[in-house]
Amino acid sequence: MKYFWPVNIFNYKTFGRRPSGKDLARIKQSPYYKKRGFIFMGTKPNVNIASELIKEYAKSSQEARSPKIKIPVTHHLKKSFDELPSEKFKVMWLGHAGFIIELAGKRILVDPVLGNRPSPTQAFGPAKRFHAAPISVKELPNIDYIIISHNHYDHLDYDFINAIKHRNITYLLPLGLGATLKYWGIKAKNIYEVNWHEQLQLDGLTFTAADAKHYSGRFLNDRNASFWNSWIIEGNNEKLFISGDSGYIDAYKNIGHQYGPFDLAAVAIGAYHRLWPENHKTPEEAWQAFKDLQAKKMLPVHWATFDLALHPWAEPIERLVKVAAKESDKIYTPKIGEWLDLKRKIKCNKWWK
């Protein structure tokens, strides 16, 4: 059933489903859950964000928020992947917050969004992507695990999940998000919901959910009904940290001490604004988070693909490169769809110029 007023554009399933029954009973045991949702661990803004945002958009330049170049993308077909994933640590940035990881003979997909718009409908709306996806759903190789950081449309795509739901893939999710994926046709036996600092040992890999400061919601009635995670993946003596969406938090120091050092930290650097300083990090805060995490190398993500804030398109990466100028050999700046060689000496490739 599809509906929209007055034409059929939305598939109502894309909004997801609140947890209930046993799913709800479990998440109510979390110390981070209160009444009807998880707790936003920040301060509430003292301004009307909607009205202020309208004023800001009126003053902003869409031209500045758009790329001035044709974004280079390396495209892939299924045949370009080895049948068996690499034992060695490999990472491919898919744009925005998505990437493919190969480690210990397993292939992991993180926050995959390959559609044209991170919204309830592909027919219209803001934030149409600036570049083609480096791979299509049809050309995806075998995937062992899919990790989701939270349920926002730029991290969780109904059309993508619907297209691959027949595959035997294991899903690692924050608390409360399993109800939505089961509603979309994913079998319960393929779903793990993981609370902060819980660990899963699967196929020689260790997956750990960790802290983040954000929020969730896909419709009017599900604000914070599911949680938001950062993630840690360990295998073959390699460690990767994935920030998901988050404002800067002191917990990064604790994560670094408890789980670090990390070989690579994929840290979000874009979509920040003064109206939501605790939901997304500035590039300078992202660099501090990288330091706190005791990571050796940084992969800056959550920029370049969608217009989700009011800053100029290349500002996040430019500010990051500037603040890290004395340690530029620690930042990977791959083109979208390019495999990272984690053993090669880094030379900052300013492809966005």
Domains, the chain, ranges and CATH? 12-40+49-340 (3.60.15.10)
> Quick check: helix, strand or coil at residue 241?
strand
Nearest one of 87, 340, 106, 296 to 200, comparing CA atoms: 106
C-alpha dihedral (166, 169, 170, 174), degrees to nearest 10: -70
How far is Cα 349 from Cα 353, in angstroms, rounded to an integer?
10
pLDDT of residue 194: 97
How far is Cα 292 from Cα 261, in angstroms, rounded to an integer?
10
Q: Chunk the chain into consecutive blocks of 10 residues (it has 353) and report each block's average pLDDT, rounded to whole numbers.
A: 45 93 95 92 65 75 90 96 93 98 97 94 81 97 98 97 98 98 98 97 98 95 95 97 97 98 98 91 98 98 95 97 94 96 81 96
Chain centre to alpha carbon of residue 227: 13
pLDDT of residue 5: 39
SS3 content of the chain, % helix, strand, coil (to 5): 20, 20, 60
How far is Cα 213 from Cα 246, in angstroms, rounded to an integer?
5
pLDDT of residue 2: 41
The answer to whether residues 233 and 38 touch, using CB atoms and an 8 Å cutoff, is: no
DSSP 34-86: ETTEEPP-SPPPSS-HHHHHHHHHHHS-TTTTS-SSPPPB----GGGS-SSPP
Could you give the C-alpha distances from 36 to 3, 25, 223, 279, in angstroms and in order?
27, 12, 9, 20
- The one-letter code for the residue type at 274 is R
pLDDT of residue 38: 96
DSSP 126-154: S---SS--SS-STT----SEEE-S--STT
